[in-house]
Amino acid sequence: MDQEKVEILNQLNQHHEVLIEQLKIVEQQISEIGTFDEELNIIKSQKDAEILAPLGKSVFAFMKLNSDKKFFVDVGAGYFVRKNVDETKMVAKDQKQRLEMFKTQLSNEIQNITSSLRELIETHNS
């Protein structure tokens, strides 16, 4: 295999590895949103919900939610808006849908790179 093909093969392989890592991160984020949604369902169903809230690095405290169960939700650009449980669930659902779309894009790109790698290897072997 000539030097140019080896270089292309290395670049494609590096890009493939980066995409695989990104895909793992996206899948983790999707899983976290699913867990968050389940936790919101629990909070919604409880009358006097008490949660374990992070206060800082490795420090947590039990806290009672106020009666209206509203949260400050980051809506981007450093802005926070108060939202109830159902509104917060909608924000999470929207985030999950965007992540699912990104996951599909990453998967397609990984398939394309895998095909390109196979072609290069097959071309070399024939």
Q: Cα angle vertex 66, ends 35, 81, to 5°?
A: 70
pLDDT digits (tens, 9 = 90+) for 28-42: 999 999 999 998 988
DSSP secondary structure string, 3-15? HHHHHHHHHHHHH
For residue 82, the cross-strand partners are 72
**CATH of 3-125 given 1.25.40.10, 2.60.40.3500, 3.40.50.800, 1.10.287.370:** 1.10.287.370
pLDDT digits (tens, 9 = 90+) for 27-83: 999 999 999 999 898 888 887 778 888 898 899 999 888 767 788 998 889 999 999
Give me the residue spans of the domains in the chain.
3-125
Q: Which residue has the tokens 């109830």?
A: 84
pTM tops 0.95: no
